[in-house]
């Protein structure tokens, strides 16, 4: 199912690129956009996880530097029957964590310095179990590809906006380069594209987070520890939102790195933390 979702996302990205390329440059623009989309899909599969790690300044750490963190990850990986992922740490005052990589053999778990400072060992183990559940479920690739897709869609919105400003949407006398929608079409795309990127992230993220919560709680054996961790992380993010976070990669985090409340929660890439905690408490009662 996750492989199918990845293929679908890549297809949507390619179709979107071709459509906007047609708006900007007619048929020739469609051909160019097709080539760019194909190259971006290949690039995102092999290199997007490295880009995300560099984006957040996540540095790989050794067992000598963080022995407790490595021990927790190794124990959980053994229970999950997956290879030991690389362990990275981000220097950040905001508590958060994410996993990335195209498959379990090339997986990375990254945590912020803040999350290690506010969580107990049991709570941190619950967070790491959540991230390893993403790895074990083989759905970190789709999150990484989605991050690349969202960034690409934002870029397309800017391209369409600038093309409209400088007259790129006017019809051409050449039939191959004619653009029936013209400037109006590009303006509409520049407005709707960021919304489309948000909807894509919401669609793929919310169900994945619920599943990772459930599987992670089962993996560590303590749903209440994960519930407590989510409560602390949520309060930490509300107090100190992650300044270095990017909207295109927000869905990869265990908690939305941006502070949001009220109507903004409807457009969050993550389910409401209250509902996640409620489900974990119900899971704990069921396990007892």
Query: What whole-number distance in Å separates Cα of residue 47 and Cα of residue 59?
Result: 16
59 Cβ contact partners less than 8 Å away, ≥ 6 residues apart = 88, 89, 90
Q: Is 109 helix (H, G, I), strand (E, B) or coil?
A: strand
Contact of 249 with 274, CB cutoff 8 Å: no
Are β-strands 97-100 and 86-90 bridged in parallel, bridged antiparallel, or unpaired?
unpaired
Contact of 17 with 37, CB cutoff 8 Å: yes
Contact of 101 with 135, CB cutoff 8 Å: yes
- DSSP at 254: S
Query: What whole-number distance in Å separates Cα of residue 223 and Cα of residue 216?
Result: 8
Query: What whole-number distance in Å separates Cα of residue 127 and Cα of residue 230?
Result: 8
Give the number of other Cβ atoms within 10 Å of residue 127's Cβ. 28
Q: Which residues are catalytic?
A: 131
Are β-strands 97-100 and 108-112 bridged in parallel, bridged antiparallel, or unpaired?
antiparallel
Contact of 132 with 76, CB cutoff 8 Å: yes
Are β-strands 86-90 and 108-112 bridged in parallel, bridged antiparallel, or unpaired?
parallel
Tokens of 206: 């919310």
């Amino acid at each position: 199912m996750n492989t199918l979702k990845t293929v679908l996302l890549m297809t949507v990205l390619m179709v979107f690129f071709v459509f906007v390329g047609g708006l900007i440059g007619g048929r020739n623009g469609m051909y160019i956009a097709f080539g760019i989309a194909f190259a971006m899909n290949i690039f995102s599969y092999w290199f997007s996880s490295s880009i995300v790690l560099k984006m957040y300044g996540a540095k790989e750490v050794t067992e000598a530097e963080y022995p407790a963190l490595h021990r927790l990850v190794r124990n959980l990986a053994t229970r999950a029957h997956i290879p030991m992922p690389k362990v990275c740490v981000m220097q950040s005052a905001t508590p958060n964590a994410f996993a990335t990589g195209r498959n379990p053999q090339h997986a990375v778990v990254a945590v912020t310095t803040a999350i290690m400072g506010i969580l107990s060992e049991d709570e941190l183990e619950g967070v790491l179990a959540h991230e390893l559940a993403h790895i074990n479920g083989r759905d970190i690739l789709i999150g990484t590809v989605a991050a690349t897709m969202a960034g690409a869609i934002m870029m397309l919105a800017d391209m369409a906006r600038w093309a409209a400003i400088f007259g790129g949407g006017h019809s051409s006398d050449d039939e191959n380069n004619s653009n029936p929608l013209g400037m109006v079409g590009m303006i509409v795309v520049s407005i709707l594209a960021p919304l489309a990127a948000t909807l894509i992230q919401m669609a793929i993220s919310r169900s994945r987070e619920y599943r990772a919560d459930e599987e992670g709680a089962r993996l560590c054996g303590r749903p209440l520890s994960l519930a407590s961790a989510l409560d602390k992380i949520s309060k930490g993010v509300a107090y100190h939102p992650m300044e270095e976070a990017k909207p295109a990669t927000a869905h990869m985090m265990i908690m939305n790195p941006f502070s949001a409340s009220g109507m903004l929660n409807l457009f969050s890439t993550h389910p409401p933390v209250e509902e996640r905690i409620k489900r974990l408490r119900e899971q704990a009662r069921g396990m007892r």
